[in-house]
Structure 1
Amino acid sequence: MANDLAIVGTMPEITNPTIAVLLPCYNEEITIGKVVRDFRTALPSATVYVYDNNSTDRTAEIAAAEGAVVRKEPRQGKGNVIRAMFEDIDADVYVMADGDDTYPADAAPAMVSKVLEGYDMVIGDRLSSTYFQENKRPFHNFGNRLVRGSINGLFGAHVTDIMTGYRAFNFTFVKTYPVLSRGFEVETEMTIHSLNNNLRLFEMPIQYRDRPEGSVSKLDTVGDGIKVMSTIFRMIREYKPLPFFGSIGLILSVIGLVLTSSVTIDFWHTGVVLRFPTLIGAVMLVIAGLLLIVSGIILDVMAKNDRKLFVIDQNRFAFLQRRHD
């Protein structure tokens, strides 16, 4: 069963919605032709966009021959490509996938339907189906579990597939989402952004398949894993500043108070402060801890104001889309 992550309100019906299929690509000549054909078959009314990210093979040529709109993005990295796509392309519904033929195009119509029902983002959930059987890279499986557990625990969510590249979005999401990541960590960033701003998410299980023979993954298990964890760390610091800074401040304060208590006990028994360096260090730890807690409170207020501004921006773009329709 699909995992319904939010309650959807009523949404004005969009007649004859425009659909854009977004395929960021780098050296995918083996698979891109089939991927474009599959999406054109699954979504006949959609426009398929292939953004070529400095490929050195025939990716762009093959995609154009299959009827895709091909554009170049010189800034290397998937995050940079998605940023360009979101800036350049206007549509009612967006479907984003990879050019490596690992995601089934026949799931796209159902994802589009969910967006038209009112969801901001539909997540193609690989992990509930065939991912762990098809994916032959054990460290990737471990990384998916680690990231999923970290984010769900911190945001109190139940998202199954945090890092999937198969997603569908509405116009408002695309035009209000700030793409900050440059590489493959962008999907994790999307999920955290959505959870932090209480967007309407829907998870739909899909049948994942591993790359066909001859197609080479661009993922660096260790390097990209570090980037993903760094992104999580950064976004928790920005989106959850009170728990982040408050917990560190609380730990420092407790350590400082324990050390201060030991010096106080010695003074009680002897009438002399025997460990001045310990006392000075302990007081500094308490002060530093209190400063971190206060900083967390201030930053938490700022983060809440940012969420308010985001809601205002969402309402503005939703209004513009209704006027356009």
Structure 2
Amino acid sequence: MDDIAVLIPCYNEAQTIRKVVTDWKKELPEAVIYVYDNNSNDDTAVIAEEAGAIVRHEYMQGKGNVIRRMFREIDAKAYIMVDGDDTYPAEYGRKMVDCVLQKNADMVVGDRLSSTYFQENKRPFHNFGNSIVRASINFLFHTEIKDIMTGYRAFSFQFAKSFPVLSRGFEIETEMSIHAVDKNMQVENVVIEYRDRPAGSESKLNTYSDGMKVLKTIMRLFRTYKPLAYFGTIAAVLALLSVIFVIPVFSVYLKTALVPNFPTLIVCGFTMLAAILSLFTGLQLQNSVQKNRQDFEMQLIRLDHVRKDLEADYEK
């Protein structure tokens, strides 16, 4: 079991990976540095190994697939996840790891948005997208995470081993944030300096297609983790529409004792039934969510025993 594991998912980062590995070896000399190559068609893996990293491979394309593999294969007391593009300075790693090891944080977020991100990042739609995602998640899940999409994070053993990775691509950071909030894990924010990619290095994130995937992920997880709020909102909208359109029908009926708009009345009736069904669906699913949270807490207890056993074996 490693004391600290630095996890670097990479796809075609030959230009920057040597510097990234060297910086982390300097800042955290006791850490084991893992570079997971995700089907690069350049010399990323070779350069990383020459720089002193342990190189492994994930052949399913996508950052989410890489992180799933990392969390499965590596046991450590604390994890640092960082991109291989040299946009995240290694000098903040010690502070982030200390939050995990000394303050029992489950996830530490490297907050770019509170420092230099909007000045350094030359892609305005990325800036706008980050702001939208942060505002959406903080509103829907009642949290105060400062940077949802950052690729610079630290994790505890319990988080890494209990996080169910479902996303395949860049939505993974969003999924991590929502999972931590929903499961009442301790989340810390550390403000970091962000620097843009060096000339010649290209981002793998597509502003529009990956942005839509992130927004879909937010709604999917909102439905999964907060079904009563999700289906309750749908029920409220349907009930409101039903009432709005049925009021004129009843108004005419009260005056004339006639119902001239039977189709409207019938549609309003079915709309109200749909609202009631939606509400009860949310109530039923909310019970399942509560049971899942109870099971998750028991899983954390078991993981704590596993961690202690691994640490004991490591000390021997």
TM-score range, shorter chain: over 0.9
Q: Aligned AA for 2:52?
A: G
CA distance in 2, matches of 1:248, 1:220: 31
| Pick aligned residue for 1:258 from 215, 221, 244 | 244
1:31 aligns with 2:35: no
| Pick aligned residue for 1:44 from 12, 24, 29 | 29
Partner in structure 2 of residue 236 of structure 1: 222
CA distance in 1, matches of 2:213, 2:169: 8
1:310 aligns with 2:296: yes
Q: After superposition, where does 1:58-137 map in structure 2 within 5 Å? A: 58-117=43-102, 118-137=104-123
1:36-55: CA deviation from partner (whole Å, max 9, x where unpaired)? 11111111111111000000
Partner in structure 1 of residue 314 of structure 2: none
TM-score (normalizing by structure 1): 0.93
Partner in structure 2 of residue 170 of structure 1: 156
- Structure 1 residue matching 2:110: 3-state secondary structure: strand
CA distance in 2, matches of 1:294, 1:244: 12
1:213 aligns with 2:199: yes
Q: Aligned AA for 1:161?
A: D
Partner in structure 1 of residue 253 of structure 2: 267
Shift in Å at residue 262 of structure 1? 2.0
Query: What percent of counterpart residues are identical?
Result: 53
CA contact (8 A) 2:24 2:90 kept: yes
Shift in Å at residue 158 of structure 1? 1.3
CA distance in 2, matches of 1:259, 1:148: 36
Q: Aligned AA for 1:202?
A: E
| Pick aligned residue for 1:319 from 289, 305, 314 | 305
- Structure 1 residue matching 2:76: 3-state secondary structure: coil
- Structure 2 residue matching 1:221: 3-state secondary structure: coil
CA contact (8 A) 1:73 1:81 kept: yes
Q: Flag as ranges the 4+ runs of structure 1 deviating above 6 A.
A: none
CA distance in 1, matches of 2:299, 2:143: 24
Unmatched tracts of structure 1, length 5 or more: 1-15
- Structure 1 residue matching 2:170: 3-state secondary structure: coil
1:287-306: CA deviation from partner (whole Å, max 9, x where unpaired)? 00110011111111111111
Q: Aligned AA for 1:190?
A: M
CA distance in 1, matches of 2:106, 2:132: 25
Shift in Å at residue 17 of structure 1? 6.2
1:230-265: CA deviation from partner (whole Å, max 9, x where unpaired)? 100100011111111101111111211232232222
CA distance in 1, matches of 2:308, 2:74: 17
Please give the root-mean-square deviation of Cα atoms over the aligned residues, in Å.
1.1
Partner in structure 2 of residue 3 of structure 1: none
CA distance in 2, matches of 1:110, 1:264: 66
- Structure 2 residue matching 1:140: 3-state secondary structure: helix
| Pick aligned residue for 1:161 from 147, 152, 162 | 147
Shift in Å at residue 310 of structure 1? 1.2
CA contact (8 A) 1:250 1:290 kept: no
Moved more, 265-274 or 41-50: 265-274
| Pick aligned residue for 2:42 from 37, 57, 66 | 57
CA contact (8 A) 2:2 2:32 kept: no
Shift in Å at residue 130 of structure 1? 0.8
TM-score (normalizing by structure 2): 0.96
CA contact (8 A) 1:22 1:97 kept: yes
CA distance in 1, matches of 2:164, 2:220: 15
CA distance in 2, matches of 1:182, 1:119: 25
